[in-house]
């Protein structure tokens, strides 16, 4: 599903701001009945546009104040899928992206302390398939937001 009418756009905007919004509340906002909103949401889910609903947690509040980006270069002539499988098992890795450049992957990592980051990096470097890494610690997060909706104009 790649074409959205204005009602779908409004529904997505509301759900992005509040995934817990009821169908009745959304219906009032978009001028439809609650069952009609439910049908539209179900279609957006089935089309894979809405992939899920989750709570947005405060990293500080759950004891993971340290954030770092770790660039990872794989060992030459090793299957990338095996390295990705090993990296996917590391609970500290919040995001893992294949990228172009000197490093093939960039991982967003969250840990409780710099000591935990050091221990993680030691474990990471020992994983089969890791050739080298480069770590950038986050000092301060100035902006973190959900992805923009391409059909909305900035206000």
Rg value, the chain, Cα: 20
What's the pLDDT tens digit per position in 70-79?
999 999 888 8
**β-bridge partners, 107:** 70, 96
Q: Which of 27, 5, 3 is nearest to 15 (CA)?
A: 27
What's the pLDDT tens digit per position in 77-108?
888 899 999 999 999 999 999 999 999 999 99
CA–CA separation, 96 vs 64, rounded Å?
Answer: 18
pLDDT on residue 139:
97
What's the pLDDT tens digit per position in 132-151?
999 999 999 999 887 778 77
SS3 109: strand
What are φ and ψ of residue 143, in 5° steps? -155, 130
Q: Which domains are delineated in the chain?
A: 6-46 (1.10.10.10), 66-137 (3.30.70.920)
């Amino acid at each position: 599903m790649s074409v959205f009418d204005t009602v779908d756009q409004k529904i997505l905007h509301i759900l992005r701001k509040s995934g817990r919004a009821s169908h009745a509340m959304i219906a009032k906002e978009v001028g439809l009945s609650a069952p009609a909103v439910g049908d539209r949401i179900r279609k957006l889910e089935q089309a894979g546009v809405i992939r899920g609903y989750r709570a947005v947690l405060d990293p500080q509040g759950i004891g993971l104040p340290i954030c770092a980006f770790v660039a990872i270069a794989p060992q030459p002539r090793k299957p990338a899928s095996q390295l990705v499988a090993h990296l996917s098992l590391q609970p500290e890795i919040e995001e893992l992206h294949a990228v172009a450049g000197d490093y093939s992957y960039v991982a967003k990592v969250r840990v409780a302390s710099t000591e935990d980051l050091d221990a993680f990096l030691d474990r990471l470097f020992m994983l089969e398939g890791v050739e080298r890494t480069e770590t950038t610690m986050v000092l301060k997060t100035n902006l973190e937001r959900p992805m923009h909706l391409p059909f909305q104009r900035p206000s």
